[in-house]
Amino acid sequence: MARLVMKFGGTSVADLERIHNVARHVKREHDAGHEVAVVVSAMSGKTNELVNWVNEMPKVAGSNAQIYDAREYDAIVASGEQVTSGLLAIALQSMGVDARSWLGWQIPLKTNAVHGAARIEDIDGSDIIERMGRGQVAVVAGFQGIGPDNRIATLGRGGSDTSAVAIAAGVKADRCDIYTDVDGVYTTDPRLWGKTAGASKAQRLDKITFEEMLEMASLGAKVLQVRSVELAMVHGVRTFVRSSFDDPDSIDSSDGANPPGTLICDEDEIVEQQTVTGIAYAKDEAQISLRRVSDKPGIAAAVFGPLADAHVNVDMIVQNVSEDGSVTDMTFTVPSSDLEKAVSTLEASKESIGYEVVQSDPGMVKVSVVGIGMRSHAGVASTAFKALAEKGINIRAITTSEIKISILIDQDYAELAVRTLHSVYGLDKE
């Protein structure tokens, strides 16, 4: 017997029939003798609709920074999960499973004061643990908690993944199962090979470490919200990504034969470690270069201070060593959506920074090679550079960490680059 948290995303609870299907998945684990808590998202599209309604409301006269009252935004957008948690509890009850819905404040799942993007601070899992012990299924509304002001606070878009991992940590679950519309984490985006069935060379990973998954998620793989992976890593929550569209009755309970999916876990659980685990990519990056910046102490602060104040998210940063110690070039990337703001911020600070010209290019993509095995293997980077050179792909910037190499290239070459790297590191499906 195990204690499980099962999380179902928006597409899995998109209508009543699917909610029923979810209930069958839950019943299967419950009948197998497991203690079960479930975390649900809103029906797909619901949160968008709610957010749009808020945006259509008239703004407070005279206010500029605050578009609307964030506490009321939270009261509105959190409602989608209230509906699905209640519906799933009813569906379970109708199948003879004892179940009860829980909103964030009822648990309570306490957050900080940042409405709209709140962070979880504390969860009291005791009541739920006691009920689970009696065989009652807890159906928890994801995406929401209660702030220090005693009001509903939401965790940011996609936040129900984070709710699920946090609940798993809070009730000391053996595993957090994330049921979603894909059947696991792949070596890269399977859609890169087009829509023809069987054409994709991407492979589903059986296991991936927390560190690698964190890189993959932050670098563009959209399976899980980045914060949920961070949280899973910090609390050591083993997280299993699997498909909710499998027939609930044709798959064994988690104790039986392994259902298809990907386990995100600690390094120790992975016996055979590949050097490279996956290739991620992030489109819509923009490159900015400051030409002839004076090369003196404080220059990086002069450039990136104002950008931070303007909430521009700076990513790859490359600075050259100047030849004569006087001027150099500085190149970095920002999301394309931030480009205009970034350039105008830099232009406004031209005098204090001291540079000749700012150049920018919006059509960039960042391709990243990720693998924990890089820590102990040499030559991983040079393999990538050689393979890209052979395809005539020009590299604009490179950054590395212990377990990843990121390369900035023109958007036009994105797919070719990813497919090339996927193959050169031996990740292609036979």
List of residues contacting ligand ASP (CB under 6 A) = 9-10, 41-42, 47, 80, 142-143, 157-161
- Residue 12 Cβ, how far from ligand ASP at the closest point, in Å? 10
Q: Of 31, 12, 41, 18, which is closest to residue 95 (Cα–Cα)? A: 31
**37, 64 in Cβ contact below 8 A?**
no
Phi and psi based region of residue 380 (left: phi greater than 0; alpha: psi -120 to 50; beta: remaining): alpha
Structure tokens given for 226? 């980045």
Q: Which is nearer to ligand ASP, 9 or 170 (CB)?
A: 9
Q: Are 103 and 91 in contact (CB under 8 A)?
A: no
Element at 170 (helix H, strand E): helix 160-170
Comparing CB distances to Mg ion, the nearer of 9 and 80 is 9
* Residue 80 touches which of ligand ASP, Mg ion, none (Cβ within 5-8 Å per kind): ligand ASP
3-class SS of residue 160: helix
Closest CA to 184 of 230, 245, 141: 245
Backbone angles phi, psi at 55, to 5 degrees: -65, -25
Closest CA to 205 of 250, 158, 240: 240
Per-residue contact string for residues 153-172; x = within reach of Mg ion by CB under 5 A: -----x--------------
Instruction: Work out whether the CA dihedral 369, 370, 371, 375 comes out positive or negative.
Output: positive
Task: Select the residue interacting with Mg ion from 9, 184, 220, 278 (CB under 5 A).
Answer: 9
Q: Which is nearer to ligand ASP, 26 or 339 (CB)?
A: 26
262, interface contact from ligand ASP, Mg ion, none, CB < 5-8 Å by kind:
none
The rounded distance, in Å, linking the Cα atoms of 47 and 76 is 9
One-letter amino acid at 171 equals V
State which residue, 21 or 328, has the beta carbon closest to Mg ion.
21
- Binding-site partner at residue 328 among Mg ion, ligand ASP, none, CB < 5 to 8 Å by type: none
Residue 143, contacted partner among ligand ASP, Mg ion, none, CB below 5-8 A by kind: ligand ASP
Cβ proximity to ligand ASP, 225 vs 349, nearer residue: 225
- The dihedral region occupied by 45, where left means phi > 0, alpha psi between -120 and 50, and beta the remainder, is left
Would you call 208 helix, strand, or coil by DSSP? strand
Smaller CB separation from Mg ion, 9 or 278: 9
Binding to Mg ion by residue 80, rule CB under 5 A? Answer: no
Q: Minimal CB distance to Mg ion: which residue? A: 9
CB of 161 to Mg ion, least distance (A): 6
| Partner interacting with residue 229 (select from ligand ASP, Mg ion, none; CB below 5-8 Å by kind) | none
Nearest distance from residue 27's CB to ligand ASP, in Å?
23
**How near is the Cβ of 178 to Mg ion at its closest, in Å?**
9
Q: Which residues bind Mg ion (CB under 5 A)?
A: 9, 158
